[in-house]
Amino acid sequence: MKKITSTGENLTLFPETTDTCKKNVFSTERTVQTPAIDLPDLLIPNTRLKMDGLQFLSHLPVESVPVAFLDPQYRGVLDKMNYGNEGKSREKRRSALMQMSEELIGKFIQGIDNVLIPSGHLFLWMDKFHLCQGFKNWFDGTQLDIVDLIVWNKDRFGMGYRSRRVSEYCVVLQKYPRKAKGVWKIHNIRDVWLERTKTREHPHQKPIGLQGELIAAVSNEGDYVIDPAAGSFSVMEAALSKGRNFLGCDLIEYNSSIKM
């Protein structure tokens, strides 16, 4: 099968989908259906809700959504590097954000586990230090486990005393029962993804193209995609671009006029 990738390359991928290979794990068929959901009045789809993410999750019906994103406000990298002038001459926007403790991140993950349908996915953005030091205890007691990892090459030169950061990591978690067949329907997403964000509305803005592909892989048109700490609402843009609905919030409304 020939595919044109997001970067315009012509790739030979997996064999054409036929009735025979539909039965294998590379099928482009998704058999999972999401039940219709009744939303409380305060959860307005496809808008930028301003509220606490844990409160938001508590209003969603149990087992109601196939896909969630979580991009916690980590302090890890900045604390480790202790650059000294954070919040003064530099990084004003970043240091003004609400930071999340590991305990709070665990609560977000528990809330997401509660609202995901069986075999639903959580895409958890991760920084280098947590990735190396371990984060498995964050989803203790949930029905989630790690099934994949995608490296985002931001194509921007970041900070670092030794190597300079150009990447971030998206850990793919799936709720029990964990399987790809009949659930994950796009099979040409590279696990190293090059994408430069077009705008800098938020210091931690994530790639809309990659998030859109991930959404399309694990949901059906019209399904709800959630993000309880949405920042610039890049996940909303990704979801809408793929014909999905979005529900999500942030504690803060970002003012893009503040310089980074």
Q: Which stretch binds ligand SAM (CB under 6 A): 37-45, 158-166, 181-189, 228-236?
A: 228-236
Q: Give the dihedral sign, CA 109/32/149/93.
A: negative
Q: Site for ligand SAM (CB under 6 A): which residue of 57, 64, 68, 71?
A: 71
Local structure of 92: helix, strand or coil: helix
Amino acid in the structure at residue 72: P
For the CB of residue 123, give the shortest distance to ligand SAM in the complex, in Å. Answer: 10
Minimum Å gap between C-beta 190 and ligand SAM is: 20
Residues near 176 by Cβ (< 8 Å), separated by ≥ 6? 118, 119, 143, 144, 145
C-alpha pair distances (Å), 115 with each of 74, 108, 132: 23, 11, 28
Residue 216, token pair as written in the block? 């399309």
Pure H helices in the chain: 53-58, 76-81, 92-96, 102-115, 128-133, 208-217, 234-241
Among 68, 232, 238, 239, binds ligand SAM (CB under 6 A): 232
Q: Which is nearer to ligand SAM, 100 or 117 (CB)?
A: 100
- Count of residues for the chain? 260
Give dist(CA 212, CA 233) in Å, integer: 12
Q: Are 26 and 14 in contact (CB under 8 A)?
A: yes
Which one of the spans 60-68, 93-101, 154-162, 176-184 is the region binding ligand SAM (CB under 6 A)? 93-101
Please report whether residue 63 would count as binding ligand SAM according to CB under 6 A.
no
* 176-205 footprint of ligand SAM as x/- string (CB under 6 A): --------------------------x-xx
Binding status of residue 250 toward ligand SAM by CB under 6 A: yes
Mask 6-45, x = binds ligand SAM (CB under 6 A)?
A: ----------------------------------------
Q: How far is the CB of 106 from ligand SAM (least distance, A)?
A: 13
User: Among residues 54 and 189, whose Cβ is nearest to ligand SAM?
Assistant: 54
Binding-site ranges for ligand SAM (CB under 6 A): 52-53, 71, 73, 97-98, 100, 202, 204-206, 228-232, 234, 249-252
